[in-house]
Chains A and B, each alone.
Chain A
Amino acid sequence: MKKSWKNILVIAIVSILVIAGVVQLKGVGIGEMHIDGQADPWLAQCVTKGEVEATTWITERTSPDDRFVADIFGGELIMGMTTRVPIVGGDWANAQNATQNMADAEKIYLTKSPGEASSLCKKYNCTYVFVPLQRQIHAGYGWKDVEVTKFSNPNYFELAYENHDVQIYRVVY
């Protein structure tokens, strides 16, 4: 067989491999048929733009000693951008009661009782609660909806910062 034909065959084989590989990486959608990519979802940002913007306020207006209630992604954002300490997120290797922290953080977000949320915040000496508005929270036990209304009770929390994506409440001590 002529060399040029062999080259075409090699290019065809490699092209098929490239197409198959890219479909698996990025997925494909033709009409109603859709194949999900396996790599793309792992590049998600999880937190919203407004949450990232809020970290500037945290850096400028809170003390390095302030502690935050946040979910895992919010907590890691706060750590990454401000070095403030959240009650969940990061490396749990040597944490004393990491699973308790996760359960309590989730309870703070999910409970309808402002008193219960406040006492759990105080258990960890937290001064602020980071409340995402445009996404669910994940404190270690799956994605859940936040019960936001309770944070409006001025006996327990006061609004310190807000934008379209997030509210930050100061815990009333």
Chain B
Amino acid sequence: MKIKDRQILLFAIICAALWYRAPILKGYIIPTFGNTMYHVGIIRKTIETMHYPLYELSYGGGFRHFYVPAYRLLIASLAIVSNVDPMPLSGIMTIAIAIFIIMMVYALAYRIYSNHYVGLCAAFFFVLSPELTIFTSRALPQLLGLFMIPLTLYFVIREQRLLSILAAMATALTHQMTLLVLALTLLAYSILQIKDRDKFLLAFVPFLAACATYGVWQLYTMQTLNIFNISQVKYHEGIVVDWKLFARAGLVVIPFSIIGFIRTFLSTHVSRDCKLLMLSWFVVTLLLTKNELFGVSIFMDRFFTFWVECMVIFAGFGLFYSLKCLDEHLSKVET
């Protein structure tokens, strides 16, 4: 087997991501910002009782769970199989899942633009984005969510109907905010494809499957479908994404994502389906990020992460396009 340049470059990008995340395992405990140890607690309780707890340990305990179980059950299962304590295992899995996300972003960008180097550029920007680095360096369910979204969209692009339904259902049990991003993206895409029955159903069925899966889970845990009484909604948890926070997308990511966004929709090489899917993802995450403009004001900063994930794919194409233009321009220069 001949190792190609692009494989070496992808390996180098992954090594850079590993280098940045290696300190997670050096400390006496994993990074604790963002409730990471709370999730370890539920994982530990699951391992101790061999049963996913229905009642909380948080805030005095004794009340029903809101969280979905996929991430915790994944870590708990691996802890049982490997006999490694869930605290260090959460750190190890954070690094592993982060690498999978980078590879998934590479694969999705490649599939959308039919070019390996666009995938490489997207992976490159992923590693340089502070926002994506922050949310792929801590042991949180959103980490798995950041993998599930590009995975599900990849299956949709590949027209893998069963796999896209299964991925959407798994996403529903991974992280509520991820579910909202995915469900609205699939819904927007299916509406944009409404004239083509097959393509409409390709996204609409996973959308329904995700919603139904989450609904059943919430009825099981909270015994209601109403989420308007939870504290996050009641107290409007979230931070407005101002220019300062927006810069966390990556000062090198932002200009190339603008170039990539514009060029994607002007390009004749990108299929209409891919354009519509990327447009759906971009618009949905943008609207969710700025939801305070519609009076919602919930988790704006958390939805922003998913917007940035979409932005790095555009940025990948933006960098590739810029370098290609430069190459063509320099080729005309006589030596």
Give chain A's interface residues, CB within 8 Å of chain B.
1-2, 5-6, 9-10, 13-14, 17-18, 20-22, 24-26, 37-39, 42-47, 49, 52, 67, 73, 75-77, 79-81, 83-96, 98-99, 101, 124
Contacts and interface: CB of A to CB of B under 8 A. Distances in A.
A101 B58 CA distance: 11
B175 interface: no
Given A9-B330, A47-B32, A94 B128 contact: no
B128 A38 contact: no
A20 to B, nearest CB: 5
5 contacts: A10-B323, A24-B250, A45-B29, A45-B31, A95-B56
Contacts, number: 177
Given A42-B138, A76-B38, A92-B231, A20 B251 contact: yes
Contacts of A84: 57
A39 to B, nearest CB: 4
Contacts of B127: 21
B60 interface: yes
A77 B37 contact: yes
Nearest to B237: A92
A91 B32 contact: no
Contacts of B45: 83
A93 B41 contact: no
A85 B61 contact: yes
Interface in B1-46: 20, 23-24, 27-42, 44-45
B268 interface: no
Interface in B155-188: none
Nearest to A10: B323
A84 to B, nearest CB: 8
Contact of B60 (A17, A46, A81, A85): A85
Contact of B128 (A25, A46, A76, A79): A25
B198 interface: no
A101 B231 CA distance: 13
